[in-house]
Structure 1
Amino acid sequence: MIPEEVARSPYVSLVTFRRNGTPVATPVWAVAEGGELLVWTRDDSGKVKRLRNGARVTVTPCDVRGRIAEGAQSLEGTGRLLEGSAALGRVRKAMARKYGLRFRLMDGVGALVRGGRRPHVGISVTL
């Protein structure tokens, strides 16, 4: 179950870990759905590379710049990549429901700039 504070937050700090154990935090949009937290990102991003090496993650509600409010609870979890058209469609629909026009514009304009390509992957976080 995803805590309400994480589910309602417009951004969460997703921390993935380098092979040497160094944490790397990235503020991302995330949607709680079906007991997991879904994230949308480029398939060549650092967080995807780090998740290919290890599934350990932490998430904390944050602002657009990744600043975490005093007293915000960090939760440990497991991240897994969601690839394939069905999985990506599910993540895209969940993002569009939560973020509406902002997500649709970002996704549509990005695809237009890239000539129709959508080099994205979903991330599922189980806490």
Structure 2
Amino acid sequence: MSNVEKTEQEWKQQLSAEEFSICRQKGTERAFSGEYWDTKTPGVYLCKCCGDSLFESGTKYDSGSGWPSFYQPVSAEVIAEDRDSSHGMVRVEVMCKRCGSHLGHVFNDGPAPTGLRYCINSASLTLQADGE
């Protein structure tokens, strides 16, 4: 798939104010407030901005963080990473590789088999339930 490039105005037309703040301006939603933090519906989580498949529900787990958490993406090729030193911390930001949408952060305190916790904002995802 090719990269998705849109103007800021095009993104604002496509996304809600909260989605734009999170996906395009690297914001975050409050813990335990997002649509998918406690969802157990089987399916695939897509990028809110470009529709690329990012995470499978089988890799989602309850991390206790209040955000949807996954131990791995559908493939390494769909996620881009960058150092984030905002808010007085050093973290690894994760983005959709296709469109650059901010998804959340990845931490090294997840379960087997990867030991990773992809802590993702619900507002940056769309769940495509199995059978849809």
Give the TM-score normalised by the residue count of structure 1. 0.39
Question: Which of the pair is proportionally richer in helix?
Answer: 1
TM-score normalized with structure 2 length: 0.38
Which structure features the higher share of strand residues? Answer: 1
